[in-house]
């Protein structure tokens, strides 16, 4: 009963119907080609028709052996790990092939009554059995090939799902991290410059709107990302005085360029977090340019690393960005990082 249910499922499966259609189409193609050859070579029409009928019948027998193995014997006996079923597979095939081809053996035997000629019957029998077992082996290999491709596709899909989940997790960390750092910056303004703090809150709302709603797609417009970075830099300008040199440059010729959202946010945040001193001259230089379709991000800042007592927040840092680049742009990005006692240099080249 269970086997009958499985056969029903196989027959109703759209994929299996397609495979059956392909197998039948191959059979029809072989019969058609053979019939065409016979008609071109055989001048006797009656003999040609008989030859075509015989060969259609012969190919049909081979097709049935292939399909019985492909849909029943191979999946339920050969592909299991049970050795007893493996032996049963070959024994059942021997019995099935012998019984299925009994009629053709009988016809061939009746046509060869003389003993000396009957040697050809045994030769024919051996060759015919080899052809039938060739169909059995073909069914094994075709099923293996199909199953292997299905497994590879499933692994790719699972890997893709895991990658997307990890990217979502990494990206979701950016928003609270970004909000935490920005609120720390605004917090210091509320005591020193309430008016500037009000402006900063207004700019922060615009930044959050972009970070929460505009970055949902896998890729966003590079111009939109640049606008976000510009707003963030302007927000930082409000906080720092004349002792901090802040420069930015953005030169993009292709307005259609797309990029992963917020991919440059961490190094920009770090430039202001670790590159500015409260009582020493500091600088932050940020640029995004385009060169032959490549996006080049460059960030240079004075180097004042925070000590362990700093309470401005310990973020996910550059490791998050490196992982996102590796997942989104494998073998399509390059990073150069140099750290000296006074200057931190970071260059990222991305080929979208």
Residue 129: C-alpha distances to residues 27, 155, 349 (Å): 19, 39, 64
Measured in whole angstroms, the distance separating CA 305 from the mean position of its chain's CA atoms is 40
Please report the pLDDT score of residue 119 as a whole number: 54
Q: Outline where DSSP puts E strands in 192-315.
A: 220-221, 244-251, 258-259, 282-291, 294-302
Residue 298 binned pLDDT confidence (cut-offs 50, 70, 90)? very high
Task: Give the SS3 label for residue 50.
Answer: helix
HEC-encoded secondary structure of 58-80: HHHHHHHHHHHHHHHHHHHHHCC
Has residue 346 got a pLDDT over 70? yes
Task: Convert the pLDDT of each residue in 132-146 to its tens digit.
Answer: 888 889 889 988 888
Q: Give the other-Cβ count within 10 Å of 308's Cβ.
A: 5
Surface-to-core class of residue 74, CB atoms within 10 Å of its CB (0-12 exposed, 13-18 middle, 19+ buried): buried
Instruction: Measure CA of the first residue to CA of the last residue in the chain; give whole Å.
Output: 56
Task: Convert the pLDDT of each residue in 104-132 to its tens digit.
Answer: 666 555 555 554 545 555 666 778 788 88
Task: Convert the pLDDT of each residue in 151-205 to its tens digit.
Answer: 888 888 887 777 777 666 666 655 665 666 666 666 666 666 677 777 777 777 7
Surface-to-core class of residue 198, CB atoms within 10 Å of its CB (0-12 exposed, 13-18 middle, 19+ buried): middle
Has residue 315 got a pLDDT over 50? no
- 21-30, 221-230, 245-254: which range is least confident on average? 21-30
Task: Convert the pLDDT of each residue in 43-90 to its tens digit.
Answer: 666 666 766 777 777 778 888 888 888 888 888 888 888 888 889 999
Residue 39 binned pLDDT confidence (cut-offs 50, 70, 90)? low
Task: Convert the pLDDT of each residue in 237-291 to its tens digit.
Answer: 877 777 889 999 999 888 888 998 888 988 888 888 888 887 788 899 999 999 8
- Which has the higher per-residue pLDDT, 62 or 351? 351
- Which residue bears the tokens 């080249």? 349
């Amino acid at each position: 009963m269970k086997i009958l249910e499985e056969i029903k499922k196989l027959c109703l499966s759209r994929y299996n119907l397609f495979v059956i259609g392909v197998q039948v189409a191959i059979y029809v193609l072989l019969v058609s080609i053979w019939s065409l050859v016979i008609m071109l070579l055989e001048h006797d029409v009656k003999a040609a028709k008989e030859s075509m009928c015989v060969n259609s019948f012969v190919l049909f027998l081979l097709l049935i052996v292939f399909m019985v193995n492909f849909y029943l014997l191979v999946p339920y006996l050969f592909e299991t790990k049970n050795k007893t079923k493996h032996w049963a597979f070959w024994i059942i095939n021997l019995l099935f092939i012998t019984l299925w081809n009994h009629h053709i053996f009988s016809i061939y035997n009746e046509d060869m009554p003389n003993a000396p000629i009957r040697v050809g019957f045994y030769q024919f029998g051996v060759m015919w059995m080899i052809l039938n077992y060739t169909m059995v082996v073909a069914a094994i290999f075709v099923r293996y090939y199909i199953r292997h491709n299905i497994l590879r596709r499933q692994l790719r899909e699972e890997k893709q799902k895991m990658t997307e989940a990890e990217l979502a997790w990494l990206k979701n960390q950016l928003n609270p991290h970004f909000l935490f750092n920005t609120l720390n910056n605004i917090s210091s303004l509320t005591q020193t410059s309430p008016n500037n703090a009000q402006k900063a809150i207004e700019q922060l709302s615009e930044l959050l709107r972009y970070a929460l709603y505009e970055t949902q797609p896998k890729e966003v417009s590079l111009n939109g990302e640049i606008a976000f970075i510009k707003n963030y830099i302007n927000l930082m300008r409000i906080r720092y005085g004349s002792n901090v040199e802040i420069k930015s440059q953005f030169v993009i010729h292709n307005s259609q360029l797309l990029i992963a959202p917020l991919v440059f946010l961490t190094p920009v945040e770090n430039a202001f977090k670790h590159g500015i001193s409260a009582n020493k001259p500091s600088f932050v230089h940020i640029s995004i340019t385009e060169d032959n379709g490549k996006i080049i991000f460059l960030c240079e800042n004075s180097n004042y690393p925070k000590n362990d007592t700093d309470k401005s927040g310990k973020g996910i840092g550059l490791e998050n960005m490196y992982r996102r680049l590796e997942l989104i742009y494998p073998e399509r990005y390059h990073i150069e990082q140099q750290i000296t006692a006074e200057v931190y240099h970071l260059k990222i080249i991305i080929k979208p």
